[in-house]
Each structure stands twice: as C-alpha cells, then as structure tokens.
Structure 1
Amino acid sequence: MTGNDREKLLRRIRKLMALGSRNNNAHEAARALRLAQVLMQRHNLSEDDVTLSAVCETECRQVYTDAASIPSWLNALATVVCMATGCRCWFGWYCTVTPEGRQRDRRSVHFYGLNERPDVALYAFTVLARQLKDATKEHMHTAYRLKRLKLQTKRNRADQFREGWVMGVWKVLDAFAPSDKEAGVLRNWLSRRCGKNELAEISVREAGHCRGDAKARLSGWLAGQRAELNQGLHGAQSAALAPIAGGNDE
C-alpha cells in the first residue's frame, strides 16, 4: 500500500468512526463502526494508528530572527497562535545557502495539531508576524526618528514594543484549548515524531529594560489590538480560529 493509499484509508476510517459516534440513528452508527473495525483488522491498523493519523504538521520559515535565544516576543506570538488554534509548536532550524556559497542556519517554527488546525496556525502566525514587523518599523520611525539614542536603547525599545504588541493581539483573541483527550493524542504524536531525539528546552531572551520602555510597550499594546486576520483559509478558520477584530484605541 502506498503512502497515498494509506492516508485515504485512514481518512475513510476516521470518517466512519466519526459517523459512528455522532449519528443519532443507532443502526447507522453501529454499521459505520463495524465497517471501520473491519477495515482496521483487514489492514492491521490499531486505534492509535487511526487517531494519530489525524495530526498534521506545518513549518513556518518567516520568523524574522535567527537568534539562538528566542526573543520573548517571538515565543509569545507562537504561544498566542497555538492558544487560538488548539495547536502546539516547537522552534527548529533549517539550512540555506548564501549567494556566496556559504551555509547558513535559519530559524523556523513548527505547528502541529488535529486536522486543518496547523494550516490555520501557519496562516495566523505568518500574517501576524508580518504585521508585527511592519508595526515595529513604523513605530521606531515615527517615535524616534528625530531622537539621538544609543543603538542598544533602540533595540530594547523595539523589543518592548513587540512584546506589548503581542499582548494587544491576545486581548482580542479567544482561546481554543484542545480537550484532554486531544492533548493526549498530541503528546503521543510528538513522542513518535521525535523518537529518541527529544526536544530541548528553548532559551528565551526577555526584552531589555531602558528609559522609555514602558511607553514603548504601551504603544505596542495599543497597536496590537488593531491587528487583522481575514477569515477563510481553505474554509477552515471559522472552525479553528476565533475571530479577531480591532480593539479600542483607549
């Protein structure tokens, strides 16, 4: 059986199991479950095989930083996206080749979850990360263009703005937490996915404190509430992503 055929079979079994558990007609529900069991026995598939096959993974390479220590704002943004879509994530690396022929390690973030949720998470993270980048650039240009500041102070204020921006985004998003059963499925999937290569704890770098950091964070918080996510990715967002709307400016 090819990989494509196996995926089609697993998808059919999942549909039958869903029909068996949700159908109000007892006869049709029992028939669907019996057919699912026959297919599983015929192809030597366990219930775990069927359940874990519903977990998907996506990778985002538009992270805008290649730092070994993950900036707090980036970790927070990935967390917010996961909490809004019912996904989980981890940070990884991928390798690119520069025009000069040198290899360069770049940052990526992987989202995993049930069915279409990782696609939704990828969409949300990509859109929000781009908006955050643009908002930070605009803030730094308008707020500090005519001021003489140390480079480190500018960097600290930019990070404070970013952290505030993510907090503002979270204020207008609703949490979408997976059930305990789904959370268990995700843990089992990740264990199989990684095998003996367990994920290490990431090092997170908090934004540095400086003069004017509170004002920068407040500006980010207000700007983050004006972030926009358009619904409609493959028709899946209405089910897996809570609506986001502009917040109040006060």
Structure 2
Amino acid sequence: MTADELKKIAAKIGKCLALAASDNPAEAEAAKRQADALMKKYNLTSGDVAAAEVHEEQIGLDTPYKPPVYLGQLAVLIAKAFGCGSHGEIGLTNTRFHFYGLGIKPSLAAYTFDVLRRRLAKDRKTYSATLTRCKRTTKVRRADLFCQAWVARIARQVSAFAGNEQEQLAIETYKKQQHGDSLRPDDRDQARAKHYNDWRSSQAGYQAAEDVSLHKPVQSKRGALLAAQ
C-alpha cells in the first residue's frame, strides 16, 4: 500500500470514527462497525490511522557535517514547544533537521528553528570576533559554551505543548513507520568550561539571548500562512 493510498483509507476510517461519536446511537454503531471493518480489511491499527495525518517539514543547514550539539538541543526544545517530533539527518551534501506532527505545528516549528539558528549563528560570529588572544581550540570551546548558554536561555521561554494522547500516538507511530529503530540519540558531550574565562563565555551567551523571543517568528509565520489561505 502506498503512502497516498494509506492516507485515503485512513481519512475514510477517520470520518467513520468521528461519526462513531455521534449522539445518534444507531448512526454511531454503524460508523464504528464500518471503521472496524476497514481497519481489519487493511490490517491497520488506530495508531496507523492517526499517523497518516502526520506530516513533516525539513530545514537544511547547507553543510554535510554533523551539526553542533547545541543545534540539536535547539531543535529538540522547539519541537517540544510545538508538540512535534524531531531528528537530524546527515546527508552527503546537506544536513537536515526534520519536524513532524499534526496541522500547522511542524511548519511553525521548522520556521522558528530556522529563524533562531540563524540568529544564533550571527551572535556566535559576533562573539567569536572578540576572542582575539587565545588558541583556536580555546576560541572554539568558548564559542560553543556561548551557544550552549544561548540555547539554555531560550529554553526558559518554552512551555511544553505535549498535545493529547492521540497526537502523541500519531507522532510515535509515524516515527516508527518512517524510521523504525534506526534513529539514535546524539550522545556527544557538550563543551565544558575549563577556565574562568570559559564561564564568562557562558555568561555572555546567556545575556545575548535575553532579547530573543521564541514567539516572534511564530507570529510571523502564522500570519504569513493565514494570509496565503
């Protein structure tokens, strides 16, 4: 069964399940029987039906390299804020972050991530330019500490929107269907402070993100989407 065929069947089953909640007992029972019959015929579960409604958005980083740990953390916290799932993918020419969920959420999450990661890259470049009297390894470590603190500051704005159980089931089923057990957590170590000035780098990153709003890109994207409808 192709993905398009699955979506069509899932949509039909979804309509039946919606009718199964009708106040009319006869109508509700008939709709439930039809939904059960279709799921049995196509060997589908309620999770499969829900997963058919999940879609994803991708953001490319224009680099084939494994992204820094702090960018993965930024993607995870934004996905969490929008009730989405996420993962990174390293390509031969372009590394990508995927955001998947229901409705407008993946689009908002991907857009917000792209806006914030560009702002973070700009702030990192500005801060790195101030590190003039240190070795390259020290400069990279302190810039990484700056970025980690920047992301930590953004995380304070996130109120997790886990969604309901059906949404989470849909996302988890979609993830399993698309990737199985192939996805692995990023267990790389973060940059760690070694000297006093390293702690100052973290402080600088935290302060640099104080005026960064998680919600501003969301409002911009939502307005653009509504205007296009």
TM-score by length of 2: 0.77
SS in 2 for 1:111: strand
Cα distance per residue 1:167-222 (max 9 Å; x no partner): 11111232212334433332222222124x52234332311424311111111112
**Alignment partner, residue 90 of structure 2:** 93
- Provide the rounded CA distance (Å) in 1 between the counterparts of 2:59 and 2:164: 25
Is contact 1:86-1:177 (8 Å) kept? yes
- Provide the rounded CA distance (Å) in 2 between the counterparts of 1:33 and 1:14: 15
In the TM superposition, 1:155-174 aligns within 5 A as 155-174=140-159
- Provide the rounded CA distance (Å) in 2 between the counterparts of 1:15 and 1:90: 31
SS in 1 for 2:162: coil
Is contact 2:60-2:95 (8 Å) kept? yes
Structure 2 gaps, min length 5: none
* CA 156–2 in structure 1, closer or farther in 2 if over 3 Å, else same: closer
- State yes or no: 1:204 paired with 2:188: yes
- Provide the rounded CA distance (Å) in 1 between the counterparts of 2:225 and 2:83: 12
Q: Identify the range of structure 1 (162-171 vs 6-15) with the bigger mean alpha-carbon deviation.
A: 6-15
* CA 26–71 in structure 1, closer or farther in 2 if over 3 Å, else same: same
**Alignment partner, residue 61 of structure 1:** 60
Structure with the larger helix share? 2
The CA RMSD over aligned residues, in Å, is: 3.4
Cα distance per residue 1:60-114 (max 9 Å; x no partner): 21276713xx533122111211221111212212223xxxxxxxxx422222222
TM-score by length of 1: 0.71
Structure with the larger strand share? 1
Structure 1 gaps, min length 5: 97-105, 239-250
- Provide the rounded CA distance (Å) in 2 between the counterparts of 1:117 and 1:187: 15
1:132 to 101, 120, 125: 120
- Identical aligned residues as a percent: 26
- Provide the rounded CA distance (Å) in 1 between the counterparts of 2:114 and 2:52: 25
